[in-house]
Chains A and B, each alone.
Chain A
Amino acid sequence: MSPPLEPQADFMKFPTVFLALALAAGAAQARDVTHELGTTDVPDSPERIVVLEFSFIDALAALNLAPVGIADDDQRDRVQPVWSERIGDDWTSVGTRKTPNLEIIASLQPDLIIADKSRHAAVYETLGQIAPTVVYDSLTGDYEDMLAVADEIGTALGRAEEMDAFQAGHGARMDALRADVSEQTQGDDAQFGVINANGLWLHSPKSYVGSLLASFGFAPAMPLTGSDSYGELYQKTTLEQLSALDPGLLILGKSGDGRTLDQDWNADSLWQQIDAVERGRLFNVSSDLWSRARGMLTAEEIAADIRDIAATLK
């Protein structure tokens, strides 16, 4: 019987139509995204994305989005396995992060470019001529800053809820790893540094790795004072300075393929007397992972390394 239904159908018609119109309008409209260097009109669901720093790969990998172009310093294996598992191997290298090749980027016909503030501010306008470009600060700051940037990227891509969900899961996994570790680390101080043939660079407590170690319950070996400037976050340290710091646990990321300075220092009694060396609490980790690969997925890998290190402390 039609009459009882008709008023209902009429009643439902308006919201339906309205909703349909709203959806249509929404799909055609791009969104305004505010970032470090201004505001950009970004398409709703960008599909061809070029990323110019490693932490941006991580944000995309978290959302299972594959970029079409990555600035990988011309070395494909700099892209961590935990990322390439999720984004595949189909991306084109656009060159170094320092000077990404603008022609190659243009030839990929991207609909979104994600760039780093410190490195690419000079070419922001040029990048904008190729495709809508958003800029974030991915190289300074600590672990919390990295999470905040990933959150903003999620919003810029129109996948804010998905990113929130992923970050919640990530936080839970990190907390679980912290719980595993916390009993062994109370009171111990730990220090991370990158070492190659010519020098040792220690990462300060305010750096990315420094803040991660702190969140796992390690005490800092270096003083907490100091600014956020790059020179204070990563300090070249002599053997004498290291022996004055005397960390109880030393984590070294070896950079480069040749000799590293600690091999030369092995003969030095001053090195042997550093607390960490004496007690055998000297650990080697991947410098690529710890010092170059910021992101949530890689933070979980670093956390797994920390858990393995802590397990040997008992």
Chain B
Amino acid sequence: MSDARRPEFPGLRGPVTLALLGALLPVLMFAGLFAGAIPLEIETVVNSLLGRDGPRQDFIVLQSRLPRALLAALAGGALALSGALIQALMRNPLASPKIVGINSGAAFAVLVTAFYIPALPHSLLPVPAALGGLMAGALVWWCAQRGDIDPRQLTLVGLAVGLTLDAGVDALLVANTGPESSAPLIWLTGSLWGRGWTHLASVAPVLLTLAAAALILAFRLDLQALGPRRAAGLGVRIGLERTLALLAAVILASVAVSVVGVLGFVGLMAPHVATRLVGGRHRIMLPTAALFGAVLTVGADTLGRAIRPPLEISAGILTALMGAAFFIWLLIAEDRRILA
């Protein structure tokens, strides 16, 4: 995406959209407390939330739906931020954590751990995931560095690394088809089944810190968009900033993936939608993308729980379908501005 053609919407459009999304998210999360395999009434939900007497469903509301909603929002926001950072760094509208091989690296590492180091407690899974994502990201970065830091180089190498790691994931799945592969298989589809407060606690600090860091970097990225020379003149250290941003993107995606699995297309779609809504300035676009990613994931999780009980459709499956619809719409609308 050429920077000169990124849309800019001065004025209140950005902040208003941000505020609307910011209000939509808690409303959606609250609505999600009612929906699911067991539809609940307002009184039941409120009683459980406030600890009052009367009809209650403490486990469903407090131990299942509430932490899942928070985790979905956090993971969706993290993936969206990661995607936005990568697209900004690589100036490629098709870039996403998947493109840089991060998802595949994290997935491979988690599967290796799940199958061959079963003694590792599940709360520690973000660690191998982050390591896997970092290794994939590092490999991609190193390969691309050897020539020049050309964004297109990064994309190509990232695709190759990602494909290889995907093949590794397939090999692991074929080699381990027993019941111990149940949990990893479900995890791969991007599911919040069985997630609760412990999962949230294990990733929330890292994700929130990195999200804050990403938003700070957003301001610096706006300066970089002016071009290397002018940015350097304004005191931005390009190499270090870009490296930090890439690092943040990798860890955000890996840690999010470690706990909710591979949520397809969130990192790819959210920046696109955010740009169309509020323009290309990163300090507005990044938070918007994060909120959109959160809303999308919470919506997908709630829908997946409610469609066909007792089955649960993984959130990742629904986000992939939404991604498909989104891309088809993009193409049919023939909006070449974004694709140029």
Question: Bound pair: A and B?
Answer: yes
Footprint of B on A, CB under 8 Å? 74, 93-96, 98-104, 106-107, 116, 118-119, 121-123, 125-126, 129-130, 139-140, 229-231
**Complex contact A104–B175 (CB within 8 A):** no
**Complex contact A102–B179 (CB within 8 A):** no
A52 to chain B, nearest CB (A): 11
- A residues in contact with B191, CB < 8 Å: 99
- B residues in contact with A130, CB < 8 Å: 59
* Complex: A121 Cα to B177 Cα, angstroms: 17
Choice from A101, A104, A119 contacting B179 with Cβ under 8 Å: A119
**Complex contact B196–A119 (CB within 8 A):** no
**A125-B198, A230-B177 in contact; A95/B64 too (CB < 8 A)?**
no
- A residues in contact with B177, CB < 8 Å: 230-231
The answer, yes or no, to whether B170 is at the interface (CB within 8 Å) is: no
Residue interface mask B177-204, A partner, CB < 8 A = 1: 1111011011000010110101000000
Choice from A94, A104, A231 contacting B176 with Cβ under 8 Å: A231
**Complex contact A103–B178 (CB within 8 A):** no
A277 to chain B, nearest CB (A): 28
- Report the nearest A residue to B125, measured CB to CB: A122
- Report the nearest B residue to A107, measured CB to CB: B38
- Report the nearest B residue to A53, measured CB to CB: B179
**Complex contact B178–A95 (CB within 8 A):** no
Top 7 closest pairs, chain A to chain B, by CB = A230-B178, A95-B310, A118-B179, A123-B194, A106-B59, A101-B310, A122-B183
**Complex contact A98–B182 (CB within 8 A):** yes
**Complex contact B37–A74 (CB within 8 A):** no
**Complex contact B180–A230 (CB within 8 A):** yes
**Complex contact A126–B196 (CB within 8 A):** yes
The answer, yes or no, to whether B311 is at the interface (CB within 8 Å) is: yes
Query: How many pairs of residues, A versus B, come closer than 8 Å at their CB atoms?
Result: 87
* Complex: A121 Cα to B184 Cα, angstroms: 12
Choice from B122, B179, B198, B310 contacting A94 with Cβ under 8 Å: B310
- Report the nearest B residue to A96, measured CB to CB: B311
* Complex: A229 Cα to B118 Cα, angstroms: 14
- A residues in contact with B183, CB < 8 Å: 119, 121-122
The answer, yes or no, to whether B261 is at the interface (CB within 8 Å) is: no
- A residues in contact with B185, CB < 8 Å: 98
The answer, yes or no, to whether B312 is at the interface (CB within 8 Å) is: yes
**A123-B194, A126-B194, A129-B63 in contact; A103/B36 too (CB < 8 A)?**
yes
Footprint of A on B, CB under 8 Å? 36-38, 57, 59-60, 63-65, 122, 175-180, 182-183, 185-186, 191, 193-194, 196, 198, 305, 309-312
* Complex: A307 Cα to B253 Cα, angstroms: 58
* Complex: A262 Cα to B179 Cα, angstroms: 26
**What are 14 of the A-B contact pairs (CB < 8 Å)?**
A74-B310, A96-B310, A96-B311, A102-B64, A103-B37, A103-B64, A103-B305, A104-B37, A107-B57, A119-B180, A122-B183, A129-B59, A140-B179, A229-B178
- Grouping DSSP codes into helix (H, G, I), strand (E, B) and loop, the A interface class, with mixed when no group exceeds half, is helix
B183, B185, B310: most-surrounded residue (chain A CB, <10 A): B310
* Complex: A130 Cα to B58 Cα, angstroms: 9
**Complex contact B122–A122 (CB within 8 A):** yes
* Complex: A125 Cα to B195 Cα, angstroms: 11
* Complex: A235 Cα to B120 Cα, angstroms: 29
A103, A119, A140: most-surrounded residue (chain B CB, <10 A): A103
- Report the nearest B residue to A138, measured CB to CB: B179
| Seed contacts A99-B182, A122-B183; 13 additional CB < 8 Å A-B pairs | A99-B194, A101-B309, A101-B310, A103-B60, A106-B38, A116-B179, A118-B179, A139-B179, A140-B179, A230-B177, A230-B179, A230-B180, A231-B177
- A residues in contact with B312, CB < 8 Å: 95, 99, 101
* Complex: A145 Cα to B294 Cα, angstroms: 47
* Complex: A140 Cα to B180 Cα, angstroms: 10
B38, B176, B194: most-surrounded residue (chain A CB, <10 A): B194
* Complex: A272 Cα to B179 Cα, angstroms: 35
- Report the nearest A residue to B63, measured CB to CB: A129
**Complex contact B310–A93 (CB within 8 A):** yes
**Complex contact B178–A231 (CB within 8 A):** yes
- A residues in contact with B36, CB < 8 Å: 103
**Complex contact A103–B38 (CB within 8 A):** yes
- A residues in contact with B305, CB < 8 Å: 103
**Complex contact A139–B178 (CB within 8 A):** yes
A100, A102, A104, A229: most-surrounded residue (chain B CB, <10 A): A102
- B residues in contact with A231, CB < 8 Å: 175-178
**Complex contact A106–B57 (CB within 8 A):** yes
**Complex contact A119–B182 (CB within 8 A):** yes
A303 to chain B, nearest CB (A): 25
**A101-B310, A101-B312, A139-B179 in contact; A122/B60 too (CB < 8 A)?**
no
A90 to chain B, nearest CB (A): 16
- B residues in contact with A229, CB < 8 Å: 178
- B residues in contact with A122, CB < 8 Å: 122, 183, 194
* Complex: A123 Cα to B122 Cα, angstroms: 9
* Complex: A12 Cα to B54 Cα, angstroms: 49
